[in-house]
Amino acid sequence: MLAFILATATDSTLSVDAGQIQQLAGHFGIDTPFIVAQMLNFALVAFLLYRFAFKPVLATIEERQQKIADGLQYAEEMKAKLAEAEKLYADRIKDASHEGQKILEEARESARAFYETQTQQAARHAEEMIKKAEQAIAMEHERMLQDLKRQVAQLVVQTTERVLAKNLTDADKQTFNRSASEALSEVA
């Protein structure tokens, strides 16, 4: 085969005949059939290695590269989802904080309103108690005055009875009581 390649590669200016090539090959110790067999063996071994060794290894490498690429893509997706989840979490925390502030402000306002309402109710209740106490005092004063008038009238009748040294009848006592009460009413 080497002879064939060398024979076809000659150009017109160099014309080397086949005998000289064989003589040259023999001079270097090249055995043409052995070289052809070696080239066939090399081609066969290269084909078998490619078919049964390199091709599966390349397929495995390609499969692993695909898995790595998928893993990296998945990691990027998870990183994006994590960033989105963190943003959502931060937004929720922010919303919860605002809601908490709002509730706290409403509670303060409610407490302020409750305090004012209770203060007003306490003031009204105190005023009512004062009015009731004043009314009770006025009623007690009136009752005491009536009682005092009655006692004074009795004392006047008793004193008059002693002064006159006579016993008065019940009708006379009532008449004196009435006239004494009227006189005391005019004075008071």
Alpha-carbon distance of 80 to 138, in angstroms, equals: 85
Cβ neighbours of residue 185 closer than 8 Å, sequence gap 6 or more: 149
Domain spans of the chain? 137-187
DSSP, residue by residue, the chain: -HHHHHHHT--SS----HHHHHHHHHHHT--HHHHHHHHHHHHHHHHHHIIIIIHHHHHHHHHHHHHHHHHHHHHHHHHHHHHHHHHHHHHHHHHHHHHHHHHHHHHHHHHHHHHHHHHHHHHHHHHHHHHHHHHHHHHHHHHHHHHHHHHHHHHHHHHHHHHHTSPPPHHHHHHHHHHHHHHHHHH-
Q: What is the pLDDT of residue 10?
A: 45
Q: What is the pLDDT of residue 137?
A: 94
**Tens digit of each residue's pLDDT, the chain (188 residues):** 544 554 454 444 345 567 787 777 777 777 888 889 999 999 999 999 989 988 889 999 999 999 999 999 999 999 999 999 999 999 999 999 999 999 999 999 999 999 999 999 999 999 999 999 999 999 999 999 888 888 887 887 777 766 665 666 778 778 877 887 777 776 65
Q: What is the pLDDT of residue 163?
A: 63
Given a contact cutoff of 8 angstroms between Cβ atoms, the answer to whether 149 and 181 are in contact is: yes
Q: What is the pLDDT of residue 188?
A: 57
pTM of the model: 0.38
For 153, counting Cβ atoms within 10 Å of its Cβ (0-12 exposed, 13-18 middle, 19+ buried), the class is buried
Q: What is the pLDDT of residue 168?
A: 67
pLDDT, one tens digit per residue, over 95-148 is 999 999 999 999 999 999 999 999 999 999 999 999 999 999 999 999 998 888
